[in-house]
């Protein structure tokens, strides 16, 4: 074998390894969706259980074709803002050569699949906030807009090496604190304002009641599934080395082209989970919040977890685990009924994640001298963009659906249970919550 043939064989092997790596990342990420489904079914009362589960299934099912139809194109074409670059987007056109079986392209399908699962995650985040009262049609459309349009537009701006937020501000969001979690949390907030609370959540004097889900154990196991899925999610945020698409021949890189390792991600994913759990335990002693605290922890460190020292990660995640439940109480005091704390866990902790990265990674260089270094101010501006980009579409669409009368189920349907629209019963023996 000549040196050239050997080199070609190594490159071909690397291409296959890249394909295998992202293929399994995508499969593991499905656990996030399974976990959210369990989490939200457990957090629902018995009569709403299957409606919560079915909405998660349909969000998953609708995200896949719509992300193929226009989601991937948006990612490739919209890096400059709202004006599409049709040349850059050509690789994402659904009738193009890359968006289907192609023996000379091992990468597009697995990257598309991983990004599709990120999109599914955004819909799952929103679906927990709206359980027990949103109508199916409105939910599906909101999920598609969030996952196949809004999040991927945010990713094109801030999670793409050529995105304008990256090239203008040095925006750094390795694990998607902003582009996934803030976008979803603020989108959910926009929807919740128009959707209104569950019946009985608030008293006439504005005080809130507790509405317990029917299975806290199911919720807890679901959250542990999400933690497992995060390894696929965060593993999918790293660029494989040694291929024609890679940043480096022998080093992993983040999505911005800065070197990192899977070891770094492993340290900080686990430390983030642990810090968040313990922080939430200290604040609440509540099993629900201990597991949600794991999410608070990871999300609070996600933006910078490719670089943090694990001790820093633990402390920041601990802070996230404490702040998450405090933020949830604040949201409730504002008269917003968010049964799973999506706004606080994902929205508020996403803000923390971006700002923490600005503080602790400020000054780190980016992959090119032409791109500004990471700064607190750049991250702060990123927070504002992500909050607005998430909130405005959710708020406007929910307002529109409310005006059309298709956003919220009637009181009668809520009373008999949202499962009546599914025309099935989760527990035929008629087990009741309390």
Partner 1 sequence: MFNSSPIETWEGVGVFMSFGANTGMTHFWFWAAVILCIVPLFVTLATEKRHETQHTFHEGDSDSTHGVEKK
> Which of 154, 141, 161 is CA-nearest to residue 245?
161
Q: Does 168 bind partner 1 (CB under 8 A)?
A: no
CB of 141 to partner 1, least distance (A): 7
Cβ atoms within 10 Å, residue 87: 9
CB of 32 to partner 1, least distance (A): 23
Q: Does 94 bind partner 1 (CB under 8 A)?
A: yes
Q: Whose Cβ is closer to partner 1: residue 13's or residue 199's?
A: 199
> Which of 327, 300, 324, 295 is CA-nearest to residue 312?
300
Q: Does 411 bind partner 1 (CB under 8 A)?
A: yes
| DSSP-derived 3-state class of residue 213 | coil
Q: Whose Cβ is closer to partner 1: residue 361's or residue 426's?
A: 426
From CA 81, how far away is CA 88, in angstroms rounded? 13
Q: Compute CA 178 distance to the chain's CA centroid, rounded to the nearest angstrom.
A: 9
Stretch that binds partner 1, among 79-87, 182-190, 281-289, 419-427 (CB under 8 A): 419-427
Give the residues across from 408 on adjacent strands: 134
Q: Does 425 bind partner 1 (CB under 8 A)?
A: no
Among 57, 410, 427, 431, binds partner 1 (CB under 8 A): 410
Q: Going residue by residue from 245 to 284, which x/- string records binding to partner 1, judged by CB under 8 A?
A: ----------------------------------------
| DSSP-derived 3-state class of residue 412 | helix
CB of 333 to partner 1, least distance (A): 12
Cβ atoms within 10 Å, residue 94: 15
Q: Which residue has the tokens 């070197």?
A: 259
Q: How far is CA 148 from CA 60, 81, 288, 347, 359, in A?
A: 11, 16, 30, 19, 31
From CA 163, how far away is CA 184, in angstroms rounded? 19
Number of residues located near partner 1, criterion CB under 8 A: 45
**Of 20-59, which residues contact partner 1 (CB under 8 A)?**
45, 47
Q: Whose Cβ is closer to partner 1: residue 197's or residue 390's?
A: 197
Stretch that binds partner 1, among 154-162, 270-278, 352-360, 412-420 (CB under 8 A): 412-420
Q: Does 62 bind partner 1 (CB under 8 A)?
A: yes
Q: Does 95 bind partner 1 (CB under 8 A)?
A: yes
**Contact predicate 32/121, CB 8 Å:** yes
Q: Tokens at residue 270, please? A: 């686990």
352 burial (CB, 10 Å; 0-12 / 13-18 / 19+) is buried
Stretch that binds partner 1, among 11-19, 222-230, 273-281, 415-423 (CB under 8 A): 415-423
**Order of all β-strands in the sheet with 238-239:** 238-239, 252-254, 259-260
Q: Does 392 bind partner 1 (CB under 8 A)?
A: no
Stretch that binds partner 1, among 181-189, 201-209, 340-348, 387-395 (CB under 8 A): 201-209
Stretch that binds partner 1, among 166-174, 360-368, 386-394, 420-428 (CB under 8 A): 420-428
Sites of contact with partner 1 (CB under 8 A): 45, 47, 62, 65-66, 69, 94-95, 97, 100-105, 135-137, 140-141, 199-201, 207-212, 214, 406, 409-416, 420-421, 423, 432-434
């Amino acid at each position: 074998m000549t040196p050239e043939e050997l080199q070609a064989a190594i490159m071909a092997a690397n291409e296959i390894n890249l394909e295998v790596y992202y293929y399994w990342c995508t499969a593991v990420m499905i656990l996030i969706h399974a976990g959210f489904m369990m989490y939200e079914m457990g957090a629902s009362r018995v009569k709403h259980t299957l409606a919560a589960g079915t909405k998660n299934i349909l969000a998953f099912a609708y995200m896949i074709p719509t992300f193929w139809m226009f989601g991937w194109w948006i990612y490739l074409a919209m890096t400059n803002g709202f004006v599409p670059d049709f040349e850059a987007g050509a690789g994402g056109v659904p009738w193009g050569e890359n968006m289907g079986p192609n023996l000379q392209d091992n990468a597009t399908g697995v990257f598309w699949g991983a990004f599709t699962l990120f999109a599914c995650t955004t819909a799952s985040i929103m679906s927990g906030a709206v359980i027990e009262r949103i109508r199916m049609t409105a939910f599906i459309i909101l999920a598609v807009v969030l996952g196949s349009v809004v999040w991927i537009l945010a990713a094109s701006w801030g999670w793409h090496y050529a995105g304008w937020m990256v090239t203008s501000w040095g925006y750094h969001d390795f694990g998607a604190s902003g582009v996934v979690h803030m976008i979803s949390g603020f989108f959910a907030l926009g929807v919740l304002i128009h959707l209104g609370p569950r019946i009985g959540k608030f008293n006439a004097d504005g005080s809130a009641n507790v509405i317990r889900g029917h299975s806290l154990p199911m919720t807890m196991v679901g959250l542990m599934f999400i933690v497992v899925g995060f390894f696929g999610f965060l593993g999918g945020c790293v660029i494989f080395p040694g291929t024609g698409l890679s940043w480096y021949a022998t080093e992993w890189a983040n999505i911005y082209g800065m070197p990192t390792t899977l070891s770094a991600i492993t340290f900080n994913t686990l430390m983030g989970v642990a810090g968040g759990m313990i922080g939430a335990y200290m604040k609440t002693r509540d099993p629900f919040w201990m597991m949600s605290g794991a999410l608070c922890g990871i999300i609070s460190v996600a933006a910078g977890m490719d670089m943090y020292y694990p001790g820093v990660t633990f402390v920041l995640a601990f802070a996230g685990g404490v702040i998450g439940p405090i933020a949830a109480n604040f949201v409730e005091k504002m008269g917003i009924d968010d049964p799973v704390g999506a706004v606080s866990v994902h929205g508020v902790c996403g803000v923390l994640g971006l700002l923490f990265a600005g503080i602790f990674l400020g000054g780190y260089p980016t992959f090119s001298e032409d791109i500004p270094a990471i700064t607190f101010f750049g991250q702060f501006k990123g927070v504002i963009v992500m909050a607005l980009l998430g909130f405005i579409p959710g708020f406007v669409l929910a307002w529109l659906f409310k005006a059309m009368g298709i956003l919220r189920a009637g009181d009668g349907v809520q009373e008999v249970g949202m499962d009546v629209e599914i025309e099935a019963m989760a527990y035929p023996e008629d087990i009741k919550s309390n």
